Amino acid sequence: MAEVSAVVKPKPRPIIRVGLFLISHSLVVSNVCCIAGVLALLLLPVIAKNTYISENALMPGSASAMLSSDDASDGHVFLNKIMSISSMSINTGIEIPEMIAKHIIESGGEVNYHKFQPISDHFHPLQFFLGPDAGIVQENYSSTSYGVNTVGIVRAPCGDGKEAIVMVTPYNSVKPTSSEALSLGVAYSVFSLLSRVSWLAKDIIWLAADSRHGEHAAVAAWLRDYYTLSSGDLEKNLDMCSASSSPGHEVTSVKRDGVSNGFRRAGTMAAALVIKVADSSSGFEKDGLKIYAEASNGQMPNLDLINIVNYLAVHGQGLQVRVEKIWSLLDSWWLYSLGELQELIGKVAKSLNPQWKFGIPAPDYVEGCATLASSLYNQALGVPTGPHGAFRDYQVDAITLEFSPRFSTSQRVLFLLHTGRLVEGVIRSVNNLLEKFHQSFFLYLMTSPSRFVSVGIYMIAFTLLIAPLPLVAAALFSDASKSKSPGESIPASTSWNWLYAAKTVLVVHLWGAIVTIIPHLLCQIPNSSPLISLLAWITSSAVLLFFTRAASGSLSLSRATQLQTREWTLLKAVTVAATFIGLCLMSVINYATAEIGAQLLVPMCLMAVPLRVDLTAKTTKTVARGACNVLLVFVGFPPTAFLLSKGALAGFDGVRLDDFWNWIESLREWNSATYLYICMVHLPCWVLCVHILLHRR
């Protein structure tokens, strides 16, 4: 009986059996999963859903627009006044705010000036976890180069003043361009209309943001003061700084009418619209509208906000709505042929069963891919695509609307009428909203202004990509522990052998953390060109790596000689596991970064085999594998990856090495978590892969 039971081993539980099966076939599984992951990403434009307005209370377009051509011509008069001021020879940047303030008071709103200086940059990459402090901003104005925002508020006649809708028009107060004046004209015509209507339930704030120090800085400064006890609240008679050397009679006359420097507020913000007008004309036969939505760290506004804008623009005002796309992808042949392939499959499927409706026309597919790529890239970058990004830091849904007029100068009144009606309609919809935006999606990718991919679907691509990582790690670990050499003196120690590998991985990750800090130190050095900074960063990192390696290597050198046989397998197992953890963490913070990072990291980590092993075997398979490894490692290095993608998209002529430093620096300054990812996950994993490749045996 005992013999029989020894021969027939009891079957393990099914779930374990499946696990063991997958681990034993990890090569096949990982190949299939990786290819499926990439394919799933390419399929996203096909399975994208049409947008729909989820919140019933919004009711876009159910009320007819009230903005008349009189309002539009008022706006036109207003913009002509601004242009006449900007053409004046002496302009200190206070004339236009005064003019705006005068008009706001005439239309019955409340005004205040908000004086600010650009915020000095501090690196708070995880600020969005903590939120800005509720403290008090204490700062000293040096009064040399401040900007002046003009804030106009319409109080809702019957409203309770708990909520507000914000309209932002960035403009340069010293030298406004004609398109900036046009955007001010749009905002003014809407504002003067809204000060007369009786249906408002939320207050309207018009922020004419002084973009002398950048659009984002102006809006961010105003928001920061809105959410803190700012100097405008604390000191009453903060006079305009004397730096504006023309006090003039205008200032006093406006002041008497009730313009105060005291900060005015209007409740919790429900939504914000940034209105901009593009410099160039649209080039289409319609007026164009471009929507920017990405805020810092890939946060998006509620999809409903984009939906109402898109709905009203397309169905109400007949504008050509676009979201950003990568133009160079539009002419790529491989994408087009892929599109044709999926179209063909779709046709065949449809002929088999008319119920199966997938497959979109190839040009649509290419366009969807280009938009998706842009959406993914902008989210991955973690840098806001406009001044609306500042609002998202305070959990306010905001988007930038960039209008591009059909003709540059003529028919401005008509343009003002259309855009004003669109803005009015959006504000009216948001005004209808009883609760804050919560019905629709916050996690999505756009493939066109009216199509989106929600989180439930785009997760699949990422999950497929990273699914093989734990399998491969387990397979490698079991390989390493199984194939211990028979002459091993201490068999028990092999099971703990992975700890040495783990130590190496940990040390490299620690090195990554130090590398993260280096640019901050390099920034302290004055007058350094980007190229020099980049080289200094790379060399200091390399030196540091050498030192850490030497320090850690000296500790484990005595043991390593014996156990080197399969050490790289263990090292690879731990590296793969660390990559898996890093990618998973990053996907929680910023999905798009993790998705793009996984495209680079996963093949590199899975393929990594010491070159020496490949070269000693000298079969075509191993040589190809070695070549692949070298290629992947080359592409996976962050600077080369950046420069290659930049070159592929924009042509290799303009690619310079210091672009990478500028790019990294911008990530750092915008508090992007992507910077942390690159330095603390991607770079250490790349170094470990290189380490595996160069392994001695």
Q: Is 400 helix (H, G, I), strand (E, B) or coil?
A: strand
**384 touches 294 (CB < 8 A):** yes
Looking from the CA of 479 toward its CB, the CA atoms found within 13 Å total 20
**Residue with smaller CB distance to other proteins, 287 or 397:** 397
Q: Which of 162, 315, 520, 656 binds other proteins (CB under 8 A)?
A: 162
Which of 102, 255, 286, 436 is close enough to bind other proteins by CB under 8 A?
436
- Among residues 242, 353, 489, 554, the one that binds other proteins under rule CB under 8 A: 353
How many Cβ atoms from other residues are within 10 Å of residue 35's Cβ?
12
Among 233, 250, 364, 669, binds other proteins (CB under 8 A): 233
**Distance of alpha carbon 75 from alpha carbon 416, whole angstroms:** 7
Measured in degrees and rounded to the nearest 5, phi and psi for residue 111 equal -130, 145
- Note whether 186 and 420 are within 8 A (CB): yes
Q: Which of 70, 121, 139, 160 binds other proteins (CB under 8 A)?
A: 160
Q: Does 347 help bind other proteins (rule: CB under 8 A)?
A: no
Contacts 24+ apart (CB under 8 A), 245-252: 245/92, 246/90, 246/92, 246/94, 250/95, 250/98, 251/94, 251/98
Distance in Å, CB of 326 to other proteins, minimum: 33
Per CB under 8 A, the list member of 90, 434, 492, 550 interacting with other proteins is 434
Residue 235 or 331 having the CB closest to other proteins: 235
Could you give the residue ranges of the DSSP H alpha helices within 25-174?
Answer: 26-47, 69-86, 95-106, 127-130
Candidate list 38, 69, 107, 155; residue touching other proteins; CB under 8 A: 155
Least distance (Å) from other proteins to the CB of residue 362? 23
Shortest separation between residue 388's beta carbon and other proteins, angstroms: 16
- Would you say 190 or 269 has its CB closer to other proteins? 269
Q: Do the beta carbons of residue 370 and residue 327 sit within 8 Å?
A: yes
Q: At what angle do helices 178-194 and 412-432 cross, to 10 degrees?
A: 50
Pick from 435, 558, 654, 696 the residue near other proteins by CB under 8 A.
435
Least distance to other proteins from the beta carbon of 158, Å? Answer: 5
Of the two residues 109 and 425, which places its CB atom closer to other proteins in the complex? 109
Stretch that binds other proteins, among 235-243, 445-453, 530-538, 674-682 (CB under 8 A): 235-243
- Please answer whether residues 96 and 131 qualify as being in contact, where contact means their C-beta atoms are separated by less than 8 angstroms: no
231 contacts other proteins (rule: CB under 8 A): yes
Total interface residues for other proteins by CB under 8 A: 50
Whether 166 contacts 61, CB under 8 Å: no
Which residue, 255 or 646, has its beta carbon nearer to other proteins? Answer: 255
Q: Which of 61, 118, 161, 638 is the binder for other proteins (CB under 8 A)?
A: 161
Residue from 63, 77, 136, 517 in contact with other proteins (CB under 8 A): 136
- Which residues in 615-674 contact other proteins (CB under 8 A)? none
Verify binding: residue 131, other proteins, rule CB under 8 A.
yes
Question: Of residues 275-294, which lie at the interface with other proteins (CB under 8 A)?
Answer: none
Kind and range of the H or E run holding 273: strand 268-277
Beta strands in 405-525 (DSSP E): 444-448, 451-454
Q: Does 228 engage in binding with other proteins (CB under 8 A)?
A: yes
The binder of other proteins chosen from 88, 158, 490, 588 (CB under 8 A): 158
Q: Round to whole Å and give the CA distance between 280 and 444.
A: 29
Shortest Å distance, C-beta 7 to other proteins? 8
| Footprint of other proteins on 259-278 (CB under 8 A) | 262, 265, 267-268
Distance of closest approach, residue 318 Cβ to other proteins, in angstroms: 33
What is the SS3 assignment for 401? strand
- Contact window for other proteins (CB under 8 A) among 40-48, 430-438, 484-492, 495-503: 430-438
Query: Rounded to the nearest 10 degrees, how much is the dihedral formed by the CA atoms of 454, 459, 464, 467?
Result: -170
How far apart CA 192 and CA 691 sit, in angstroms, is: 66
Number of Cβ atoms within 10 Å of the Cβ of 26? 22
Contacts of 323 (CB under 8 A, 6+ apart): 290, 291, 292, 293, 371, 374, 375, 446, 448, 449
Residues lying near other proteins in the complex (CB under 8 A) are found at: 1, 4-5, 7-8, 10-11, 106, 108, 110, 130-134, 136, 155, 157-163, 198, 227-229, 231, 233-237, 258, 262, 265, 267-268, 351-354, 393-395, 434-436, 438
